[in-house]
């Protein structure tokens, strides 16, 4: 049934594309299909409003808004690329672009990018959409991982509350969790780790301790190597669950939203989550519930963590690349980027938008997120071909078993490295 629904959605988008193209040919108006993956009401509203504003001001270049879905975007795009009916403007995430970029489906934007956009977005963000010598997407929204915490429980326990200027170390975080668990009493835990998707959490937070796991050799090939730095974050999570009993096993297979009822009920004092989860907390928290946003712990590399920004790309087959980039230049003006960021409860990549006062208020933790922006780096596996298979077949089950205590650190390392390199080797044969 799921495959049928995905296929139906892809077919509907293809038909939308054909119709839009036919209308453009008939009335002389350039019509560009913009497939957006916005899904929260505030985000969808912001996207649609900006499309309407553009259309009102540009009668000769009209944008047709097409609603996509994060759940099926990779397969849907693959189908539409192969059928020659991809949207002109494509919303995706940088860690999903590699195969499409190397496969020739996305336009190289280097000759199209306006100077304002090129200089406003930092080089570290452009790295996430650079494959080979080309740039295949504009990174525009990013989401650091933070710790959402029960303010009253933290304050009543007497533990030191971290700030971006004075974060917890990973060692201190483990001790804080012990102290909090003792303070809270039986049946309650300092921290809940929702690790239904454990790989990105482990790799991205691992950068703070100097871990990388993926290493590009002199000949361009990528291999998996595990060092002591790569064990800091996974080891902390494992020890909190298995050794210290400061985090429950029951949430390891959960998504972030699944932990919120227990968080609101005081069962967990802290939940590491993506920055955008603040919207759900703000909307769903019971009256009187006080929460705060803390930075993730720091390691030898400070607050550094990996991100895979949301991106906007242009299809290589689009006959209207220049017009598509003109729309993106409008869509990502600083004021508009702020609107998109607030709609998605995320951070903009643009430096001008990030400086907006509304994104630096203490309310709902915006200031904490903004303080982390300078520490965000490309996710370790950003340009690794074969990463999706490594993640699904090797890393996800290995991390899940390690965090639950079913295997030890040596077994985890062996599987990530030995099994992982066998997978990557198939994608790097010359």
In terms of phi and psi (left: phi > 0; alpha: psi -120 to 50; beta: otherwise), the region of 16 is: alpha
Query: At 257, is the pLDDT very low, low, confident or very high (cuts 50, 70, 90)?
Result: very high
At residue 14, the pLDDT reads 45
Task: Write down the residue that tokens 């195969």 correspond to.
Answer: 99
Over range 35-53, report the average pLDDT.
95
How many degrees, rounded to 5, is the angle at CA 416 between CA 389 and CA 215? 85
Give residue-wise pLDDT tens across range 305-331. 999 999 999 999 999 999 999 999 999
* Cα angle 132, 136, 142; round to 5: 110
Give me the phi and psi of 96, to 5 degrees please: -105, 0
Average pLDDT, the chain: 93
**pLDDT tens-digit map of 153-208:** 999 999 999 999 999 999 999 999 999 999 999 999 999 999 999 999 999 999 99
For residue 224, the model assigns a pLDDT of 96
Indicate the pLDDT class of residue 217, thresholds 50, 70 and 90: confident
Would the pLDDT of 16 be above 60?
Answer: no
Instruction: Report the predicted TM-score, pTM, of the whole model to 2 decimal places.
Output: 0.89
Q: How confident is the model at residue 303 (pLDDT cuts 50, 70, 90)?
A: very high
- What's residue 347's pLDDT? 98
Q: Closest by alpha carbon to 254, among 202, 194, 296, 207?
A: 194
The per-residue pLDDT for 430 is: 53
**Residue 41: strand pairing partners:** none
């Amino acid at each position: 049934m799921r495959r049928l629904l995905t296929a139906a959605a892809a077919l509907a988008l293809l038909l939308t594309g054909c119709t839009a193209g036919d209308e453009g040919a008939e009335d002389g108006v350039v019509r560009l299909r913009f497939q957006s993956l916005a899904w929260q009401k505030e985000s969808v509203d912001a996207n649609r409003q900006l499309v309407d504003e553009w259309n009102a001001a540009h009668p000769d270049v009209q944008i047709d808004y097409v609603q996509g879905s994060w759940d099926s975007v990779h397969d849907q795009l693959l189908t539409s690329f192969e059928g020659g009916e991809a949207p002109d403007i494509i919303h995706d995430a940088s860690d999903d672009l590699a195969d499409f970029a190397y496969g020739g489906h996305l336009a190289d934007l280097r000759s199209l990018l306006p100077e304002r956009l090129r200089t406003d977005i930092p080089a570290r963000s452009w790295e996430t959409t650079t494959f080979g010598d080309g740039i295949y997407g504009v990174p525009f929204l990013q989401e650091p991982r933070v710790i959402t915490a029960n303010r009253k429980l933290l304050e009543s326990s007497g533990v030191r509350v971290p700030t971006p200027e004075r974060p917890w170390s990973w060692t201190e975080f483990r001790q804080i969790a012990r102290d909090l668990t003792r303070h809270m009493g039986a049946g309650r835990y300092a921290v809940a780790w929702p690790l239904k998707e454990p790989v990105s959490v482990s790799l991205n937070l691992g950068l703070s301790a100097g871990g990388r796991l993926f290493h590009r050799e002199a000949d361009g090939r990528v291999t998996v190597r595990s060092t002591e730095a790569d064990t800091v974050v996974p080891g902390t999570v494992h020890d909190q669950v298995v050794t210290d009993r400061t985090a429950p096993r029951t949430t390891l297979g959960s998504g972030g939203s699944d932990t919120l009822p227990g968080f609101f009920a005081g069962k967990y004092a802290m939940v590491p989550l993506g920055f955008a989860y603040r919207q759900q907390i703000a909307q769903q928290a019971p009256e009187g519930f006080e929460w705060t946003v803390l930075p993730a712990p720091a390691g030898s590399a400070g607050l550094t963590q990996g991100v895979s920004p949301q991106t906007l790309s242009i299809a290589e087959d689009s006959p209207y690349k220049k017009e598509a980039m003109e729309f993106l230049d409008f869509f990502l003006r600083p004021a508009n980027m702020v609107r998109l960021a607030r709609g998605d409860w995320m951070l903009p990549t643009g430096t001008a938008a990030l400086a907006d006062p509304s994104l630096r208020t203490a309310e709902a933790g915006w200031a904490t997120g903004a303080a982390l922006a300078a520490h965000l780096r490309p996710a370790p596996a950003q340009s690794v071909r074969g990463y999706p298979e490594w993640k699904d077949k090797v890393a996800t089950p290995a991390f899940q078993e390690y965090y639950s205590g079913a295997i030890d650190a040596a077994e985890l390392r062996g599987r990530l490295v030995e099994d992982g390199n066998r997978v990557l080797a198939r994608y790097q044969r010359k």
